[in-house]
Structure 1
Amino acid sequence: MVILDILKFITSHPLNRHRKCAAVKDFFKWQLSSRLVPGEVIYHWVNDVKFVVFRGETGMTGNVYCGLYDYEGMGYTLHALRRDELFIDVGANVGSYTLLAAGAVGAKAYCFEPIKSTFDRLETNIHLNRLDSRVKCMNVGVGDENKSVRFTNQTNTINHVLADNENVLSEKTALVTIVSLDKILEAENPELLKVDVEGYETLVLRGAQNLLHKESLNSIIVELAGHGRRYGFDESAIIDMLYDLKYRPYIYDPISRELSLLERKNLKAQNTIYIKNIDLARERVSSAPKFICRGIPV
């Protein structure tokens, strides 16, 4: 059943629309080759950007199967940013978004990844693409204040802050330092912020109030998948806060370069793009150059 779900996702992905059979072939080719010759593989991705991937690495294998695993958010990152602007990646994992922003676009970036083993792989991808001068990687979590909290550390892309009622073996957790964006980025003026922290988004944004008010910050990509319930958070409060700050939700098609207004949030994806100045955003995405992803112009 899991394989059927994966194949359904792959064949319905917009970048596989005209290559469904080839996409299925790519999937089984990866499954076979990664078992016959286990270990890390360097995958050539968007333009000259590369990443290291191994079997079972959920986010990156999604890029192998579909080009842009998070089609809307990744496409928007490519098209909305410009060279030397600043991108903030909270919950960077092994660096998909940061590689697109810094490697493909040429932006600068701060990326935050709390789990040491994942952080090491993030740094490997940054070094592989020679982005050390453009990207500042921080092995910390992000919240509303500076403190230490315990994270799960063996669940790949869904590692998260341990909730009070979670019963997890101590060897499957790690004590991690948490910082606030307002303290770390006080002197910075980012254009785009991405937050994907498995339910901790409420506290990340609570600790970024000064940042959210900055004129430079025109777009926020935030995960609103209901995971905040594990901490007692109502994610509708995030939407209300963003509305108060004049951010509105949009759905983006990277191929047509069209941005369409939504009600409250994107119900068809876990991440939603919130934009403050839609005229600026539309001008940006329409004038951005094309990027080549697995031979497909995006």
Structure 2
Amino acid sequence: MPLRQRRLPGRPARHDRRHRQPLCRLARIRGHGLPPALLAPGGPVRGRGRQCRLLHRAGGGGIGAACLSIEPLPQAFAALRRNIAVNDMGGRVQALNLGLASQPGVLRFTSRLDTVNHVLSKEEDHADAVEVPVRTLDEVVGDASPALLKMDVEGYETEVLAGAQRVLANPALRALILELNGSGRRYGFDEDAIRRQLRDLGFTACAYRPFERALTPRAETAAGGNTLFARDLEYVENRLRTAPAFRVSGWEL
């Protein structure tokens, strides 16, 4: 099924089903090609942050997996809900308007920085900051067993993962996609500690070649945005080999 993206307010919107917006261009296929292959014919996926909207439509929701998408900012959450509706995925994608942290509470977020909105550090102060309720991922997931976690939290990974210890320890979780680009320094976090934690849990940093459906080891600190961490590689590679073909932005993968 071709996937469509409804545009944000202030931009030309084409909601007619005849005008279907390609979700991912080739530059994004490497990042979003793995979820459909890993999750088919159906399995749970969890996402948090702006990019999980893309993940769910190109990944879990698009091939029938159950998805949970967590978006903290009200405007972005409204856009997420519209995108779920326009792609007819309301029965497969559950959306929650909240944030994630190491413990329940309330955090202040920037709201006018577009793709780099983030939790305010102690040294920051923005006049447009908004307060958002936060919970732990363990609490939100409950008894479910996610197979894949995609996170884009602009440097707040340390706190989010601290509230996801049960999810991380569950062997059903086969892959995480994280963007570790040094943004954690604004909070005083050491992202190398995240890499060490994931290694201790059995995860390996990998590169994914979607057209060959192949995983190859990569440097944990390699440049290039998101890093895929996978464990139980024999299981993951078998899923990649045997999953049915699907299409993303006109490309068959």
Using the size of structure 2 for normalisation, the TM-score is: 0.90
Moved more, 149-158 or 97-106: 97-106
Deviations 1:199-227 (A, max 9, x none): 00011111000110112111111110110
Shift of 1:196: 0.9
More helix by share: 1
Aligned-partner residue type, residue 106 of structure 1: G
Over aligned residue pairs, what C-alpha RMSD do you find?
Answer: 2.0
SS of the aligned residue for 1:285 comes to helix
Structure with more contact order per residue of length (Cα contacts < 8 Å, sep ≥ 6) = 2
The equivalent position to 1:106 in structure 2, one of 56, 64, 69, is: 64
The equivalent position to 1:71 in structure 2, one of 29, 41, 47, is: 29
Q: 1:290 aligns to what?
A: 245
Deviations 1:224-259 (A, max 9, x none): 011000000010000000011011100011112111
SS of the aligned residue for 1:83 comes to coil
The equivalent position to 2:153 in structure 1, one of 191, 197, 203, is: 197
Shift of 1:66: 5.8
Q: Could you tell me how far apart the structure 2 residues matched to 1:124 and 1:69 are?
A: 24
1:69-218 matches, within 5 Å, as 69-92=27-50, 95-169=53-127, 172-218=128-174
Task: Point out the structure with max Rg over C-alpha.
Answer: 1
Q: 1:256 aligns to what?
A: 212
- Is contact 1:101-1:109 (8 Å) kept? no
- Is contact 2:206-2:218 (8 Å) kept? yes
Aligned-partner residue type, residue 286 of structure 1: R
Change in Cα spacing, 1:85 to 1:245, as seen in structure 2 (3 Å) is same
- Is contact 1:94-1:122 (8 Å) kept? no
SS of the aligned residue for 1:163 comes to coil
Change in Cα spacing, 1:184 to 1:103, as seen in structure 2 (3 Å) is closer
Aligned-partner residue type, residue 184 of structure 1: V
- Is contact 1:93-1:122 (8 Å) kept? no
- Structure 1 segments, 4+ long, off by >6 Å, are none
Aligned-partner residue type, residue 177 of structure 2: I
Q: Percent identity?
A: 32
Unaligned runs of 5+ in 2: 12-20
Aligned-partner residue type, residue 48 of structure 1: P
Aligned-partner residue type, residue 278 of structure 1: L
Is 1:228 aligned with 2:184?
yes
Q: Could you tell me how far apart the structure 1 residues matched to 2:232 and 2:215 are?
A: 12
Change in Cα spacing, 1:106 to 1:226, as seen in structure 2 (3 Å) is same
Q: Could you tell me how far apart the structure 2 residues matched to 1:212 and 1:232 are?
A: 23
Shift of 1:168: 1.8
Aligned-partner residue type, residue 164 of structure 2: A
Moved more, 287-296 or 225-234: 287-296
Shift of 1:121: 0.5
Unaligned runs of 5+ in 1: 1-46, 58-62
Shift of 1:65: 9.1
Aligned-partner residue type, residue 176 of structure 2: I
Is 1:270 aligned with 2:194?
no
Q: Could you tell me how far apart the structure 2 residues matched to 1:56 and 1:248 are?
A: 42
Q: Could you tell me how far apart the structure 1 residues matched to 2:224 and 2:38 are?
A: 19
